[in-house]
A and B are shown apart, each in its own frame.
Chain A
């Protein structure tokens, strides 16, 4: 008998390899880490932290290919600055300098490029970072999609800060800084021309100031992560897996804007897996959690913060959801991109 499906591994790159789910993880582990293999890379954090002459330096890079390049609440330029600043902030670092590389498609309007670059300048001012080096390449029409931007960032890790999933302990509280899925749904709606009655805006924002506030009130934060692609489900799974800890979250505590919730219902998408660009997840000791939450709520980017769960002794390396009706189930890492449902 012919064996039509499945092939155990794909012989071509699929979009799902970039979705932040288990195919992305496989690609990173089975290809990039296998070849580049070193201690710093193998931590699989949002950025690498290394010591240089007694100073802990955080170093990270990210590429931005969002379509459409302008969406409600932001544009690709803002995203490129905030994204890399946030990756540095999640390492517990004060972001200092960025590089910016542009891959531009022939025919791209200069006005739009100027808009993007000026947004990058505004965003970098807000984060107090400077863009100090860069590169420009132009590709033939049809060989790119308008504009792709890469930013690389460097920062100095705050004194005595050590953010690492290995530090996670049973009893740690999990704080989420606000509503989820705004960015993913805003971009999807703009890309597919889906118009909803209420405007849905991306949450793109630099989190470094909120992180500064948090690190100034407690030394007992164990992990910080920004749940970008793959959403909070993927981020929590990564932490649970690295920490070999059980993570229990309460559906009732996870805030979702009504318009975003309605869009997810309509399209059959699970908001737990949808991207955020201005939110963070924090694991902190139980004694400091309430105090930290109060301070976070005073910050504009943390006003909707909530303790959404805790680290438990059971279910090692798993994420468990207590549903809104009180039952429990596993929240797994999605292997593939979510696709809108037929009905």
Chain B
């Protein structure tokens, strides 16, 4: 299949792997920021091909994993209202809240629907004028443009039964927070190609300069990831630190201006809690005041909902690359995709689920 097969080509992989080995790198830590990159690394077991000195650290770029537990609890609470149709992307449904997940709420009889586009939620609101349709808007810069567009459509069409529970997060502040941490030493980054498709690459350039770290904006297929590793390792060895764009077939320096504009129209910047990581300054998006009639946090009384995280889960350390899933005492025994304790065991981009489902040999 065009645009896929050539980036999963065994010959190209072999050439890149030989080039990486010929660098004979010293021990280095490279973080792939995005969960979809982690997924590919595990699905293709790329670590089997790499020199032992290259340690891949899995980053926080799984939107499902970092959505704070209080949002899940609020979502479940809202879904329990009789006149509510609660809508969400599929992989949010299994994420554990304080007491249960949306999937368990659905099994108990609440009306929760999996949707594939925010426009599906708009359609549901139009078709069910006597119900309140609430859409769980989560994700990074990647999902924000489509969600913004749906919110504008709802506002323009004067829909009075469509609401948004918003927990959007932004990647650049999270990357900065990781690089500012004393706990972990990163030598290079694979920046998330899809986020950069929207944002462009100038924020990566700023981070390369500020933290003196090589960054490769990288795609999601085996050839992309290996090329990203090669580019980054070369820079590390020659003590350079700039941003390269491996994912040129999609990412431009300025990004998608139309998408950026529509995000800015609907959302403003706020501080946001990241599950496992805690609050990160200016790392979230919230609905602007002119859309507050659609904002579920303002329309419904949600402040009294208390949350509590299971203390056995080390997701925070995993999302910061301090530990690997195998380092967790409950990985694979008490915490499995059937009974996830932490969010990274749920999403297919989550590091724990990727380790569990795609065990290397």
Contact = CB atoms under 8 A, between A and B. Distances in A.
A334 B356 CA distance: 10
Interface string A3-24: 1111110101111100000110
Given A4-B98, A7-B339, A341-B347, A329 B45 contact: yes
A192 interface: yes
B339 A343 contact: no
Instruction: Pick from A13, A194, A324, A343 the residue with the most CB of B within 10 Å.
Output: A343
Interface string A305-343: 000000000010000100111111110101110011111
B91 A342 contact: yes
Given A262-B1, A330-B361, A343-B139, A336 B94 contact: yes
Contact of B310 (A5, A315, A328): A5
Contacts of A262: 1
B93 A339 contact: yes
Contacts of A44: none
Contacts of B63: 342-343
A12 B107 contact: yes
Given A327-B49, A332-B359, A5 B339 contact: yes
B169 to A, nearest CB: 12
A1 interface: yes
Contacts of A330: 358-361
Nearest to B108: A12
B336 interface: yes
Contact of A323 (B44, B103, B357): B44
A336 B338 contact: yes
A8 B90 contact: no
Contacts of B99: 4-5
Given A330-B361, A341-B348, A22 B338 contact: yes
Contact of A5 (B36, B49, B222, B341): B341
A2 B59 CA distance: 29
Contacts of B114: 339-340
Nearest to A320: B361
A261 interface: yes
A107 interface: no
B189 to A, nearest CB: 19
A71 B274 CA distance: 41
B357 A334 contact: yes
A253 B166 CA distance: 44
A50 B14 CA distance: 53
Interface residues of B, number: 61
A320 to B, nearest CB: 7
Contacts of B359: 329-330, 332
Interface string B1-34: 1001000111001100000000000000000000
Contacts of A16: 338
A144 interface: no
Given A325-B222, A326-B13, A327-B44, A341 B349 contact: yes
Nearest to B336: A335
B334 interface: yes
Contacts of A340: 89-91, 114, 116
Contacts of A334: 337, 357
Contacts, number: 132
Nearest to B221: A325
Nearest to B115: A192
Nearest to B97: A4
Contacts of A258: 1
B90 A339 contact: yes
B107 A14 contact: yes
Nearest to A327: B45
A326 B339 contact: no
Nearest to A328: B361
B92 A342 contact: yes
A138 to B, nearest CB: 24
A325 B361 contact: no
Given A12-B108, A192-B116, A323-B45, A329 B334 contact: no
A2 B308 CA distance: 8
A265 B338 contact: no
A317 to B, nearest CB: 14
B48 interface: yes
Contacts of B49: 325, 327
B170 interface: no
Contact of A339 (B14, B94, B100, B107): B94
A329 B361 contact: yes
A324 B310 contact: no
B266 interface: no
B341 A6 contact: yes
Given A22-B338, A258-B1, A5 B361 contact: no
A54 B92 CA distance: 55
A267 B93 CA distance: 15
Contacts of B14: 326
A312 B139 CA distance: 43
Interface string A225-262: 00000000000000000000000000000000010011
Contacts of B260: none
A134 interface: no
Contacts of A15: 103, 107
Contacts of B108: 12
Contacts of B90: 339-342
A3 B308 CA distance: 9
A329 B13 contact: no
Nearest to B36: A343
Given A6-B341, A23-B338, 6 more contacts: A4-B308, A6-B339, A7-B339, A12-B104, A334-B357, A343-B142
List the 7 shortest-distance A-B pairs measured between CB atoms, nearest first.
A339-B90, A6-B339, A335-B338, A340-B90, A327-B45, A342-B89, A330-B359
